[in-house]
Chains A and B, each alone.
Chain A
Amino acid sequence: MTEFTERLLTSPRKDANDRFRLIWLIIIPLIAILFQVYVPRFLSFLSYLELPLLITVHYALASRGPIAAVFYGMSIGLVQDSLSHQPIGMFGIVKTLVGYFAASVSMRFDVENPLVTFILSFFFYFFHQFFYWVLQRALLGDTLLFDFQQTLLFGLLNAAVALPLFRILDKLKVAG
């Protein structure tokens, strides 16, 4: 194991004790959801930006607490479900899993590393889309096709957006 990979895997976070204020925990997801429902009307290419997912991933990586991440992901997902025409719980389940796995992963990796952030964001976007598609087919019986190439492309775009977004969100944390 090289020094670089060892640092990626074992380096402790400097701001492990930093926490978000409660108000930001509410406002940030709301802004992300508002962005998702409002902005694509004018800039349609931004409809593939899954900001609520990125917020969930960031919170899970930052909090390192699986239980908190589970409930945070579930809450964001349920609000998303409420604004969609699908049964409530579809986004909730997917984001619950994303929150749990992201929080679990954050205990093993140095999630402040941009490369790790990029890879995790890409992975969780792909996981989110794929699992949502599986749920649609399995629970609702929808016969939709999974566009693999498009999902990969949008995963890369979301991961690229995640890098500066996570930096900005880190600034909102306060020292614990």
Chain B
Amino acid sequence: MAVYINTPFTTDDAKRIKAGDTVYISGTIYTARDAAHKRLCELVAQGKELPFDVKDAVIYYVGPTPPKPGMAIGSAGPTTSYRMDAYAPTLMDLGLRGMIGKGKRSVEVVESIKKNGAVYFAAIGGAGALLSSCIKEAEVIAYEDLGAEAVRKLRVENLPVVAVIDTEGTNLYETGRKAYLESQK
């Protein structure tokens, strides 16, 4: 099913999304990957304020290529998500509602998704040029020294993603493969 959502991404929005749905996201989302997650969680541990409000936010695991002149951003597809597994539950406990990446998540992340009513989305890995066309504005808001890994505030229009793990913990990587194999019997 196709679902259209606007950020902020609320609990009610999250609940109507089921694993396997194609979801088009519009509004403001934030980028963060390995190094930025490490810093964000260090701030949380120190009780300090984060560079953006994570409540009902969506984080895109991406390190874009530099924009060519006149463009908002370069190619911008997802990076593999498991490297953020150590940090994701901390952010979900603070209200993070959506994560966009690709690939498997840990048991702890799935549990945190269920507990907090969040959703894990996958964008198509390796489709950086295509996904870039849905990003209309990009601005570095923290950790500029990290280059591609800096935290960026993005304005996206109908960013196409697939819901992989929904609020109930149903996982498309398991159900999709199983359904395909059954169809081949």
Q: Is the A/B pair a real complex?
A: no
- Seen from chain A, the residues whose Cβ lies within 8 Å of a Cβ on chain B are none
